[in-house]
Amino acid sequence: MIRTSERGDFKHCQWYWWHHWQNGLTTPRVPTWSWFGTAWHYAQEKRYPPGTKRGSLADVIDAFVEKCDEEHRMVYEKGGDLDQEEAHDGIELGKAMLVAYVKHWGEDKQWQVIHTEQPFQIDVRHPTSGRLIAVYCGTWDLFVWDRFDRVYRLVDHKTRASFLRDWSHFEVLDQPGSYLWVAPEVLVHLGLLNKKDAIDGITFNMARKAMPQAVAEDGIKYTQPKKSDFVAAITQATGLVESGGKPFDKHTLKSLALQAKTLGLDVKGKPYTTQPAPSFARYTTRRGPGERVRQAQKVIGEARHMEAVRRGKLPLMKNTGEHCSRCPLFDFCMLDEQDKDRAQEYAATMLVKRDPYADHREAMETKGGIIVEGDE
């Protein structure tokens, strides 16, 4: 099998790919990003059942907490030192994010959900001999009809530590390319799509792992309004310069706030110099027919490269750099540099073996996984 994340790991560091994806080695503790992301996906599945009606906030939060499986770990916001002020209990953070998510996106009536959580497998065959060399597998989150744009789209939920200013790299990412390559065949097989229908693209529905901050409806965070702000707003709205026989600036802050409320005015202070980063973002990428064919060719090429490494025809390479300290197998890797026997002892005592495809196998069984068998 080959998964999208596995493809990324192989290109990032073959040594890690070999020990994690081929040997199943990992740390005993499930990484925070893993269980948090799994719980977020489970909550979104409850939020978006087929149709246009959305799951209740209470049910969505309950689903998130249930999937956390009593994981009470700190999740750190990106930026600054990792001190206690920037750390949040993972469950409480997820609940706060879900409340803000529902408030931000509302009922999402433009999405008519047709199908959810579709696991798939597709044969990857040698381009000349036709020999089966791998099975590409994955799961997309939603298949929707966009009622505003009048197009079919896939949707993929993601949580991120931070947001970028430029999302254009999504135009070359393997995940959207591979999903848009496979999806038409799977959806036609399910009877959800006709051969003449087209999928417009895939929308990444992203949430930033950070406590949402209070902002106005225009998305800007303001200071608390002062007397001068109320005076300016009331004067502009009424054209008056005094109330009750005295100038507005002679009134108390409480009195001015009451008058503003009576007039239906939403008075704000000054915008903060530093505004909070967005909590949620969506980016849609589209791939033309040629790009989708190219994705299939890339999967074939990567599968052949992996096969050559497995057979010892190509050496297993390490990609070292600053990123190494964040790798779950970093200690194992360092020992491997120093003494391979000690490294194997470390792996036998400190690491565990897990099937990296176990969740996919389970999804194929429980969620109606589709197998696309390529022709020889």
pLDDT digits (tens, 9 = 90+) for 31-67: 777 888 999 999 999 999 999 999 999 999 999 999 8
Residues 77, 133 within the same domain = yes
Of residues 221 and 111, more confidence is placed in 111
Average pLDDT over residues 76-82: 52
Question: Domain range spanning residue 52?
Answer: 2-213+276-372
Residues 20, 125 within the same domain = yes
Give the pLDDT score at 29.
Answer: 82
Residue 168's CATH number: 3.90.320
Residue 328 pLDDT > 50? yes
Residues 261, 291 within the same domain = no
Last residue of a domain, one of 275, 290, 324: 275
Residues 19, 146 within the same domain = yes
CA distance 150 to 192: 16
Total domains present in the chain: 2
Residues 258, 296 within the same domain = no
pTM: 0.81
Residues 193, 238 within the same domain = no
Residues 263, 339 within the same domain = no
CB burial string 140-177: b at 16+ within 10 A, e below: bbbbbebeeeebbbbbbbebbeebeeeeeebeeebbbb
Of residues 135 and 275, more confidence is placed in 135
Average pLDDT over residues 199-207: 96
Residues 251, 282 within the same domain = no
Residues 141, 79 within the same domain = yes
Residues 291, 144 within the same domain = yes
Asked whether the beta carbons of 10 and 310 are under 8 A apart, the reply is no
Asked whether the beta carbons of 214 and 207 are under 8 A apart, the reply is no
Question: Which residues have a Cβ under 8 Å from the Cβ of 248 and sit 6 or more positions away?
Answer: 230, 231, 234, 235, 240, 241, 242, 256
Residues 161, 257 within the same domain = no
Residues 204, 220 within the same domain = no
The answer to which of 196-210, 211-225, 304-318 has the lowest mean pLDDT is 211-225
